[in-house]
Amino acid sequence: MARHTIPDITERAAPRRGHPTAAARPLLLNLVLSLRPSQWTKNLIVFAALIGGQRLLDARAVLQSIAAFAIFCALSGVVYLVNDVADREADRNHPLKRFRPIASGAVPVGVAVATAVVLAIGALSAAYRIAPLFAAIGAIYLGLLAAYSGPLKHIVIIDALTIAIGFVLRAAAGAAAIDVPISHGLLFLTILLALFLALSKRRHELVLLADGATTHRRILQEYSPYLLDQMIAVVTASTIVAYAFYTVSPEIVEKFHTNLLGLTLPFPLYGIFRYLYLVHQKAGGGSPADMLLTDRPLLLCVALWALTVVFIIYGPVHEIRGLIT
């Protein structure tokens, strides 16, 4: 098997030959790209409640979850538009972000703001039709991440926690959309894993930009690679331990009528260690969504984990009791 690597930073920093720059693309296409559809994989966490709530075989719940996913893709698109408008000057000093449509001037600020307003109103209206609580969580998510684009991203540690809480709100919204309770354990795991990704991204930015890091993002002057490595180590250990205890907790064993979920621990172990390998050895971590889609071992690990969990919960394996004591 050919060894898979993350492309060199300098190679990714410049537009590929034969590919149009933002200025050469139609405005509508630039607007769509500004919504960052490649990042929408982050919203897949709304389906966690569908699986964990044992509603995967409920057609109505599946359709509501799909609608919730689409709504959060729109809401996250609004956040990206607001963020790119707020950061357009700083992004022009970044080797990769300077090619974004808003930073490059291909999408006028007025058009981006108007699009964000229309999308926000439409998405929240659709969310309210699914469930008022789902709409409320969507509004909180939008407000929190909009605040992140303003003052919160300039407060050390709070900046990473805000991103992590955004993932927790996605998970909670998925549960609200299909009216199922979401366990505290799942929320704890979500915030820990999201914090791991957020801190890894900060480290990537700090190492990539080197002396120009604080010019692009002032908050980076409050961090150092050593400090971030210490934080990442704490969060990594906490995530693995939390996952292990969650899968074998009496609540989960009773809920799913199986004690086999603990056997899935090797998947998060490999996934986290693979991610750390890409961050430290391949200068990755700038975009968790891109890494998930481009690194085949990581993508395979996540896919196998999801299939194994579904098989244990819904397949004939869930009838096997007492196999593991």
**Pairwise CA distance, residues 127 & 62, whole Å:** 15
Give Cβ neighbours of residue 111 (< 8 Å, ≥ 6 apart): 27, 31
Q: What pLDDT is recorded for position 265? A: 95
Measure the CA–CA gap between 119 and 83, rounded to whole angstroms: 15
What pLDDT, on a 0 to 100 scale, did the predictor assign at position 223?
86
Neighbours of 254 (CB within 10 A): 10
Backbone angles phi, psi at 323, to 5 degrees: -65, -40
Q: What pLDDT, on the 0 to 100 scale, is given for residue 271?
A: 93
Model confidence band, residue 217 (pLDDT cutoffs 50, 70, 90): low
**Angle formed by the axes of helices 184-209 and 266-281, nearest 10°:** 10
Domain spanning 27-182: CATH superfamily: UbiA prenyltransferase (1.10.357.140)
Confidence of residue 9 (pLDDT cuts 50, 70, 90): very low
- 3-state class (DSSP) for residue 302: helix
CB 130 within 8 A of CB 49: no
Closest CA to 176 of 41, 56, 61, 306: 61
Residue of 283, 281, 199 whose CA lies nearest to 234: 199
CB 171 within 8 A of CB 62: no
* SS3 label, residue 265: coil
Report the first-to-last Cα separation within the chain, whole angstroms: 38
Mean pLDDT score across all residues of the chain: 84
| AA identity, residue 155 | I
Note the pLDDT of residue 144: 94
Shortest CA distance to 141 belongs to which of 76, 68, 208? 76
Model confidence at 322: pLDDT above 70:
no
Chain centroid to CA 192: 12
Q: What is the mean pLDDT of residues 104-113?
A: 89
Res 183 pLDDT > 50: yes
Please, which pLDDT band fits residue 236 given cuts at 50, 70 and 90? very high
* Tens-digit pLDDT profile for residues 69-95: 999 999 999 999 998 998 888 778 777
For residue 54 the two structure tokens come to: 């044992």
pLDDT in tens, 275-295: 999 888 877 666 777 787 788
Given pLDDT bands bounded at 50, 70 and 90, which one contains residue 114? very high
Query: What is the structure's pLDDT at 308?
Result: 94
Distance CA(261)–CA(252), nearest Å, equals 9
Asked whether residue 61 carries a pLDDT value surpassing 50, the answer given is yes
Domain ranges of the chain: 27-182, 183-315
Which of 88, 110, 108, 106 shows the shortest CA–CA distance to 97?
88
Give the C-alpha separation, 145 to 215, whole Å. 22
Does residue 237 register a pLDDT over 60?
A: yes
pTM, entire model: 0.81
The residue ranking higher by pLDDT, 113 or 100, is 113
pLDDT of residue 324: 45
Q: What is the 3-state secondary structure (H, E, C) of 234-257?
A: HHHHHHHHHHHHHHCCHHHHHHHC
